[in-house]
């Protein structure tokens, strides 16, 4: 009976393994790992138990993100001789609690974790092997540092209670046992390099800008950076429009970064705060040029560009923002008139970024 009791305690102690794992992140990373643990028992010496750990982890894309875990299952097969021992004392089920030790290392941070777990009530057959499982709450953990991040299994402790069919205790009562990971195994469940806000993300740009006052949309191409540098680099484009609904016109538009371009990564997206100068190298009505070469917006245009739903740093996605065009200057004799055509708020960027 002591052998049965301690073997089961060791096996179920291992059930706590995965639930000490914190987690979060972009794409789900599944693991399926088999490990061997040894439990020293009085009278019978050391015993080995095999444990299978399955889980899915979400890894943040940048420091400050949250590491989470889901679909955790830890299975321990209780051997036949332990099953028979439990049957001898009239055990019809076994249940209990466990404490799992896991170490999370994130750059310079080392965080020991001990989480309380619940060993599910499991029916004990008259003979043969059976499988036990445990569950537990897994709080998310914020990872503040860039660099190598690892999740490593440590030691475990469990307290188990076999019960008879009527719910009463067996002669074993409740007992505690500890287990350690056998040497020569890789104790790391997960290892990854956590990027920093300085990780470089480069994209190609397609999309458009809408100039509300003109009632016109111009296609946009170019490039986009999101860390360590932030901001767009748009190619020159052309908007076709009609004045009074019938006079055909066109305007070449060139948006160029003007001054510091800042931004921040936010989970799997970002926000960019940019100032853009707008020049209009050519404006025509009926095909006749109206603007001088120096035609431009009188002040830089502030724009906040933010990622939208479905965006992923690794692949790209939608980005949008709104802006106001100030009065124009340097357009020559038609400056005042051209300003009336272009200036105003409600203008937009609608972009799609594709990772390069």
Q: Which residue has the tokens 């767009």?
A: 232
Task: Please state, in angstroms and rounded to a whole number, the distance separating the CA atoms of residues 65 and 26.
Answer: 10
Burial (Cβ within 10 Å: 0-12, 13-18, ≥19) of residue 32:
exposed
Q: Are 321 and 303 in contact (CB under 8 A)?
A: yes
Compute the distance between CA of residue 206 and CA of residue 319 in angstroms, rounded to an integer: 10
Cα–Cα separations (whole angstroms), residue 54 to 29, 61, 74, 181, 307:
11, 23, 6, 17, 33
How many CB atoms sit inside 10 A of residue 105's CB? 18
Q: What is the pLDDT along the chain (356 residues), one digit of tens a residue?
A: 333 333 333 333 333 333 333 333 344 678 787 888 776 654 445 777 777 777 788 888 788 888 887 777 777 777 777 777 778 888 899 888 777 777 888 877 888 877 677 778 999 899 988 888 877 666 788 888 877 788 887 777 777 788 999 999 988 787 777 878 888 888 888 877 776 545 678 999 999 999 999 999 999 999 999 877 889 999 999 999 999 888 999 999 999 999 888 888 887 899 999 999 999 999 999 989 999 989 999 999 999 999 999 999 889 999 999 999 999 999 999 999 999 999 999 999 999 999 98
Residue environment code for 181-193, b if the CB has 16+ CB neighbours within 10 A, otherwise e = beeeeebebbeee
The torsion defined by the Cα of 281, 291, 246 and 336, in degrees rounded to 10, comes to: 120
Distance CA 5, CA 169 (A): 13
For residue 345, count CB atoms less than 10 angstroms from its CB and return exposed for 0-12, middle for 13-18, buried for 19 or more: exposed
């Amino acid at each position: 009976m002591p052998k049965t009791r301690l073997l089961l305690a060791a096996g179920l102690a291992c059930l706590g393994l995965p639930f000490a794992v914190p987690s979060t992140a972009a794409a789900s990373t599944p693991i399926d790992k088999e490990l061997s643990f040894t439990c020293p028992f009085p009278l019978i010496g050391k015993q080995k138990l095999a444990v299978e750990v399955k889980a899915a982890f979400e890894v943040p894309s940048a420091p400050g993100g949250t590491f989470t875990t889901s679909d955790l299952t830890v299975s321990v097969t209780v051997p036949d001789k332990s099953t028979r021992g439990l049957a001898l004392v009239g055990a019809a089920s076994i249940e209990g609690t466990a404490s799992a030790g896991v170490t999370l290392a994130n750059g310079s941070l080392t965080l020991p974790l001990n989480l309380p777990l619940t060993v599910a009530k499991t029916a004990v057959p008259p003979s043969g092997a059976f499988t036990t499982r445990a569950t537990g709450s897994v709080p998310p953990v914020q990872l503040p540092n860039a660099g190598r991040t690892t999740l490593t299994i440590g030691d475990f402790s469990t307290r188990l209670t076999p019960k008879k069919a009527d719910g009463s205790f067996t002669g074993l009562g409740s007992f505690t046992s500890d287990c350690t990971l056998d040497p020569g195994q890789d104790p790391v469940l997960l290892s990854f390099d956590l990027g920093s806000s300085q990780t470089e993300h480069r994209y190609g740009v397609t999309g458009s800008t809408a100039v509300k006052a003109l009632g016109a949309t111009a296609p946009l191409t170019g490039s986009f950076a999101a860390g360590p540098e932030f901001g767009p680099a748009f190619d020159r484009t052309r908007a076709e429009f009609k004045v009074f609904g019938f006079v055909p016109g066109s305007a070449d538009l060139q948006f160029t970064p003007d001054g510091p371009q800042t931004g921040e990564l936010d989970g799997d997206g970002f926000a960019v705060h940019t100032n853009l100068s707008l020049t209009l190298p050519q404006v025509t009505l009926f095909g006749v040029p109206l603007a001088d070469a120096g035609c431009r917006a009188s002040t830089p245009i502030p724009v906040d560009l933010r990622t939208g739903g479905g965006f992923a740093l690794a692949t790209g996605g939608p980005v949008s923002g709104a802006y106001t065009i100030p009065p124009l200057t340097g357009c020559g004799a038609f400056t005042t008139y051209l300003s009336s055509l272009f200036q105003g708020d409600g203008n937009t960027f609608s972009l799609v970024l594709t990772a390069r």
